[in-house]
Amino acid sequence: SWAGGRVGEAIAEFRRRRPDVTVIEHRGFSALNLRQVTDGAADAGVVRLPVDVDAGVTVRRVDTEGVRLAVPAGHRLADMEWIDPDDLAGQPMVLWPRENAPGFYDRLASIWPGGTPPTVRHEADDELVLRAVAEGAGLAPVPAGRAATIHVPGVVLRQIGGPPVHLAVGIASLDENPNPVAAAFLGVVDGLSAG
């Protein structure tokens, strides 16, 4: 889901403290990461909040990040440094399928007037979303952390005016995980979140 900010710091700090442990990272969307934690296939999973969790699963909110708007370079909004949300009325949105992270999707869609943009295309991940924007398929709200790391020719990233939109990031884990390494990692997460 996201490996920047405090999530990335927690992984790096855990690797520093526990060089005897091999950390295996997998990329995935929130619903998949949560399902892997619930099924016991992963000790921890990064999720975009809000999420609904089953009994026995805890989600720690560990970070927040802003949003940028990905705009095709030739689009009329590309020349603006800040884009007023009212300028998004009627503009098509490109994003991944809602079921990947329903609460997160709804938060991003809420940037559009009325909260229901015309979604013209769904893509599997942020990189493919940005490629669709470069093709001129539509505009895309992108988490700032991802926007800073994925550069796609033909896409410009703009600030969104109005009240700031903050996206919450969490770590999901089982309440009763018998793996002591999982508890050690979550201790690092909790320590960084408190600081």
Tens of pLDDT along 45-68?
999 999 999 899 999 999 998 899
Please state, in angstroms and rounded to a whole number, the distance separating the CA atoms of residues 101 and 105.
Answer: 6
User: 58 and 138 share a domain?
Assistant: no
User: 74 and 137 share a domain?
Assistant: yes
Share of the chain above pLDDT 70, in %: 97
pLDDT in tens, 151-194: 999 999 999 998 888 889 999 999 999 999 999 999 999 998 77
Identify the domain containing residue 75 by its residue range. Answer: 67-160
Please state, in angstroms and rounded to a whole number, the distance separating the CA atoms of residues 135 and 178.
Answer: 48
* Cα–Cα distance list, 28 to 10, 40, 78, 101, 111 (Å): 18, 16, 30, 11, 24
Instruction: Output the pLDDT for position 26.
Output: 87
- Range 112-121 average pLDDT: 84
Averaged pLDDT score across all residues of the chain = 91
| CB 143, CB 67: distance < 8 Å | yes
User: 151 and 79 share a domain?
Assistant: yes
Instruction: Output the pLDDT for position 164.
Output: 85
- Pick 104 or 21 by higher pLDDT: 21
User: 80 and 131 share a domain?
Assistant: yes
- Range 22-34 average pLDDT: 91
User: 82 and 154 share a domain?
Assistant: yes
Is pLDDT at 19 greater than 60 in this prediction?
yes
User: 81 and 133 share a domain?
Assistant: yes
User: 10 and 91 share a domain?
Assistant: no
How many domains, in total, are found in the chain?
A: 2
| CB 188, CB 17: distance < 8 Å | yes
| CB 133, CB 54: distance < 8 Å | no
